[in-house]
Structure 1
């Protein structure tokens, strides 16, 4: 389809601050978005409960679809370096309806996880005072979480450069804490003072060691969640010094660093605490929600607070970087008339998507407050359902790569592998993860609530995506949307709104 002659809102670009981020800055933001310390604290115990000693290989296997989709992001970004990412690429490959839903998948995942991150930041902040009982005060924690969202929204609104400087410090603290954890755990293992010293075994990396398919899929789905977030560096592609190359390289570098981080910490934790169900054992379901909290005193003694601070900083850091991709995604959608024009407002001085950023912060705060007032269990189930939205838009990106590049796949072996085969495999794996997740979530015993006679997690996960369909149809009824839905403002031949 030829590009329509209609006049786009920003024919020379979207007004963002170009040439701001280098490879290191993009990688830091990608790493910060995954909240590595918090992700490990909240997930490691559950993965071990699901598959026992096969936890390290579960993290490795979950890395594979992430890596394959990262190749899709890299190749699509090289061709179409637009901050709309999945929205833009999905629209160019499959048309406006699929593209719009891809953009919605990014937005809903960001909104839900912001509520979770804010709650964790609030809980850990008040855990540092007195006997920690203030962390059980729901109104206080909620208010604190909203303050964290507001603060990080301001940082995101203020500019990418100041955000990068802050993230360098926060990520450095996180990795310092993880290094302290690994060194202390291995030190106590080798001197025999660990609570349950467990010798390292290469069987931990045996992919054939899984004995239960359901447990295997549960572990991999959990591991998928903690890799999620690396794609933030792609949403900042228009603000990098080399938009066609740096973001894709940063995405690949981020996923590889995360792989070594998660596997290394997991191995150290298993050697230190073992797989039993004793007070600090990784097989103890009572501490699965936060392994670090359970071992901090025995591992670090009077310096146990270091791990608490690291988890809090991890959550706060990810709060800021999670706002970035959604704000830029909605900016791009507005530029191509897939959302109201107001969303494309860019701050004249700071060159950030000011309106989109503020809306993201406000909506996330209202969602967090609303879910807390209704039921904390519903909030927890909405967080458990997050994997559906993640798998949904990542899979769209993988399929989009195959279809967008379909005419050039067989021009070279490189094209076939990186633009076709690997993205397709990644998308198929994530589609399987989506279907298996939905089936598991349908069970009334999954999660914390039951809604309409089925698992509340299923209702919230599928319902949030379905709500996107409703919003899309509502927007379709407005005249300003017609160029987008007719394929005029954005199609396979449209030049992206990025200044060279």
Structure 2
């Protein structure tokens, strides 16, 4: 047992930032977490790619890709119990490793990944909406899709601006439609004549032929689980803020696992992994599995519901992004790490007003600029998100083990959930980061390259390096935060109410 002097002093209770406390409970928090992942969209666009790599072992890849996500969820849960702050990874990594790591890994990297994600979510939501409305010509027009995408960003920003309670109620409806559509698709696929009987060998972690295909498939699967951590940024507005977000994080990841495995088993049972017809081993079928198979599985009219579910899925995730990022910058501003404008809270809606509008505008501008540069460039920007995810999840896993290092001998539970599990998750995530970076440096990876280096690598690693440069500039204006180190996040430096 350790003595009391060996236990790190608790951070000060989270001080009032102006957000509306006790606004949402456990169920609403889980809904926000699930919606931020865009489950219908994520499985639709990822399952085919995974199947191309490992065939009918796609469910095994989904299961193995879930392991580091679950271990990271334990890290988020334990750190949130100790430090319930809407700044989440920014605050936790700062407390563990200091302000530089906290600002870059816990703040900047998360925000860049979210803005990039918002661009693709808006684009997917726009094209799926136009397709659902039968406007196929518009859905194939870059201008029309981009224009509708900007309108969608404006709509979700308006909802996010007006408060978390309204956002949660909207998410209930959108999430319900997604889960219902995926359930209907799965049940119908299993019931179709000729559907293969699912095999336990499809989830065997020992059936992969080589490490390269195994690693590539698992890395692809990391993307479809990413986003659940957005729910933690609402922790200061939840009931029982030190426990509810952590429970919701673990629950949402488990729900995602079950949903994805069910859908994957159904799709593979119905279509198989061959290279002919609707087979998932055919490269032309990989882009959107649900949209491809739904007309045959559900029939023409019912399949349109799946198209709507994908549109709703993307818009729901976009809405959560529009709410989570401003809360991260609210915390960074409140602790003196960003300009005071990001700390302004609307007096009526109790939301980070400036930050919400800022991130909506940033996502819209990024979407338009990347589209103007090249559609391929936008695609590579989306692929680079995987690097950013693995980086900040990995650092956070190690932050948990390091922060609680003096408490790990207190009990077997502390050793396991505060040390072993988070550190293992962090190691797996950073290993995924290194492997991904190595693969993405190849000029043939993705659609663009510069100087013999893959564009995806340049965008992913380049974003992190750019964050370090921006941090040096910010440091000249916010010396107090960077000088006081780990203790800077225990009290508010700026109060904006």
TM-score bracket, normalised by the shorter chain, equals: over 0.9
TM-score, structure 2 as length reference: 0.94
Instruction: Look up the match of 2:64.
Output: 61
Q: Return the alpha-carbon distance in structure 1 between the equivalents of residues 14 and 404 of structure 2.
A: 25
Question: How far did residue 470 of structure 1 move?
Answer: 1.5
Partner deviation per Cα, 1:367-422 (whole Å, 9 max, x = no partner) = 00000000010000000110111111111111110111111111111111000000
Instruction: Look up the match of 2:7.
Output: none
Question: How far did residue 37 of structure 1 move?
Answer: 0.1
Is 1:487 equivalent to 2:484 in the alignment?
yes
Partner deviation per Cα, 1:304-361 (whole Å, 9 max, x = no partner) = 2111101000000100001222111111000111111110000111111111111110
Instruction: Look up the match of 1:41.
Output: 44
Greater CA deviation, 230-239 or 422-431?
Answer: 230-239
Instruction: Look up the match of 1:4.
Output: none
Greater CA deviation, 129-138 or 469-478?
Answer: 129-138
User: After superposition, where does 1:63-462 map in structure 2 within 5 Å?
Assistant: 63-101=66-104, 102-130=106-134, 132-188=136-192, 191-192=193-194, 197-302=195-300, 303-462=302-461
Question: How far did residue 448 of structure 1 move?
Answer: 0.8
Q: Return the alpha-carbon distance in structure 1 between the equivalents of residues 277 and 353 of structure 2.
A: 48
Does the C-alpha gap of structure 1 residues 493 and 340 become closer, same or farther in structure 2, counting only changes over 3 Å? closer
Does the C-alpha gap of structure 1 residues 12 and 429 become closer, same or farther in structure 2, counting only changes over 3 Å? closer
Answer whether contact 1:14 1:497 (CA < 8 A) is retained: no
Does the C-alpha gap of structure 1 residues 492 and 136 become closer, same or farther in structure 2, counting only changes over 3 Å? same
Does the C-alpha gap of structure 1 residues 410 and 157 become closer, same or farther in structure 2, counting only changes over 3 Å? same
Unaligned runs of 5+ in 1: 1-7
Question: How far did residue 444 of structure 1 move?
Answer: 1.2
Question: How far did residue 204 of structure 1 move?
Answer: 0.6
Q: Return the alpha-carbon distance in structure 2 between the equivalents of residues 128 and 200 of structure 1.
A: 31
Partner deviation per Cα, 1:277-329 (whole Å, 9 max, x = no partner) = 12211111101110112112111222221111010000001000012221111
Answer whether contact 1:43 1:226 (CA < 8 A) is retained: yes
Answer whether contact 2:86 2:327 (CA < 8 A) is retained: yes
Does the C-alpha gap of structure 1 residues 496 and 64 become closer, same or farther in structure 2, counting only changes over 3 Å? farther
Q: Return the alpha-carbon distance in structure 2 between the equivalents of residues 495 and 407 of structure 1.
A: 23
Matched residue of 1:304: which SS? helix
Answer whether contact 1:75 1:248 (CA < 8 A) is retained: yes
Answer whether contact 1:378 1:448 (CA < 8 A) is retained: yes
Answer whether contact 1:402 1:423 (CA < 8 A) is retained: yes
Partner deviation per Cα, 1:447-487 (whole Å, 9 max, x = no partner) = 11112221111111111111111211111122xx1110002
Q: Return the alpha-carbon distance in structure 1 between the equivalents of residues 455 and 233 of structure 2.
A: 31
Q: Return the alpha-carbon distance in structure 2 between the equivalents of residues 410 and 103 of structure 1.
A: 31
Number of residue equivalences: 482
Q: Return the alpha-carbon distance in structure 2 between the equivalents of residues 496 and 370 of structure 1.
A: 36
Question: How far did residue 88 of structure 1 move?
Answer: 0.2
Matched residue of 1:313: which SS? helix
Q: Return the alpha-carbon distance in structure 1 between the equivalents of residues 258 and 53 of structure 2.
A: 21
Question: How far did residue 233 of structure 1 move?
Answer: 1.4
Question: How far did residue 198 of structure 1 move?
Answer: 2.6
Question: How far did residue 129 of structure 1 move?
Answer: 3.6
Instruction: Look up the match of 1:3.
Output: none
Matched residue of 2:261: which SS? helix
Q: Return the alpha-carbon distance in structure 2 between the equivalents of residues 250 and 209 of structure 1.
A: 33
Question: How far did residue 492 of structure 1 move?
Answer: 7.7
Unaligned runs of 5+ in 2: 1-11
Question: How far did residue 54 of structure 1 move?
Answer: 1.0
Does the C-alpha gap of structure 1 residues 469 and 14 become closer, same or farther in structure 2, counting only changes over 3 Å? same
Instruction: Look up the match of 2:8.
Output: none
TM-score, structure 1 as length reference: 0.94
Q: Return the alpha-carbon distance in structure 2 between the equivalents of residues 465 and 376 of structure 1.
A: 23
Q: Return the alpha-carbon distance in structure 2 between the equivalents of residues 186 and 129 of structure 1.
A: 28
Is 1:16 equivalent to 2:12 in the alignment?
no
Instruction: Look up the match of 2:4.
Output: none
Is 1:470 equivalent to 2:469 in the alignment?
yes
Partner deviation per Cα, 1:225-263 (whole Å, 9 max, x = no partner) = 000011111111000011100000000000000010011
